[in-house]
Amino acid sequence: MGIEGGGSLVIDSRHKFHESGSGSGPYTYTEEGVDDEDRYGDIDIVTVITEIESKPFVSVLGYTALLPGTELWLWYQDISASPVGEDDATFPPVTFPDNDPQIRIVGGSGANLFKLMVKRKKFSHDKSHKKNRPHRYKQGGGSGLARHFRIGQWRLVRAGTTLVGDKGAENYNFFVRFGHYQEP
């Protein structure tokens, strides 16, 4: 699964998602029309590509051998309400709520299936034009979101304990590999 965080949130997935929830959220997305042997299992590996403001301008880190039950948590950082400067690239400092992310990605295991939980604004669905990740889910501005936002903070969390995380970079992109789904 590929997750892009600059400007809006874009998730490219191998599987189509079913949405539940109404109004302004929260929303929960689960896999739709997937046989058990093809389901997303626990999060196994996460590669994080971080865009930074100084040389080398990009950092690539891989987190492997994650234990079952590891979740990926994401927090949004909204751009300034009014354009600041010609480049319009001002993201005011923000205090992120410690255990209340806008996005939680939970792998599937046993009776608990894969879930993507979203606090605000549902995703639109389109084609990604990628053979192995044909479904694109995108959150843009509007309906309670800023005109432009980015992932301001992320964490890998297991049983309420932060394993690793970061905040404050120019942009984050994630590639998440899920292990084999184990039936109950």
Which tens digits make up the pLDDT trace of 16-31?
999 998 777 899 999 9
In angstroms, rounded to a whole number, what is the distance separating the alpha carbons of residues 40 and 107?
6
Q: Which of 44, 46, 37, 48 shows the shortest CA–CA distance to 15?
A: 37
Q: Is the pLDDT of residue 110 over 90?
A: no
Asked whether 48 and 171 are in contact (CB, 8 A), the reply is: no
Q: How many CA atoms lie within 13 A of 170 on its CB side?
A: 12
Q: Which of 3, 5, 1, 9 shows the shortest CA–CA distance to 138?
A: 9
Pure H helices in the chain: none
Asked whether 42 and 69 are in contact (CB, 8 A), the reply is: yes
pLDDT, greater one: 154 or 140: 154
Q: What percent of the chain has pLDDT over 90?
A: 58
Asked whether 140 and 126 are in contact (CB, 8 A), the reply is: no
Asked whether 50 and 183 are in contact (CB, 8 A), the reply is: no
Q: What is the pLDDT of residues 119-153, one digit of tens each?
A: 877 888 999 999 999 999 988 655 555 566 778 89
How sure is the predictor about 40, in pLDDT bands with cuts at 50, 70 and 90?
very high
How sure is the predictor about 159, in pLDDT bands with cuts at 50, 70 and 90?
very high
Q: What is the pLDDT of residue 12?
A: 94
Q: What is the pLDDT of residue 90?
A: 64
Q: What is the pLDDT of residue 114?
A: 95
Q: What is the pLDDT of residue 141?
A: 55
Q: Which of 6, 20, 40, 21 shows the shortest CA–CA distance to 135?
A: 40
Asked whether 12 and 2 are in contact (CB, 8 A), the reply is: yes
pTM above 0.75, yes or no: yes
Q: Is the pLDDT of residue 65 over 70?
A: yes
- Report the range of poorest mean pLDDT among 24-33, 54-63, 82-91: 82-91
Q: Is the pLDDT of residue 88 over 80?
A: no
Q: Is the pLDDT of residue 72 over 80?
A: yes
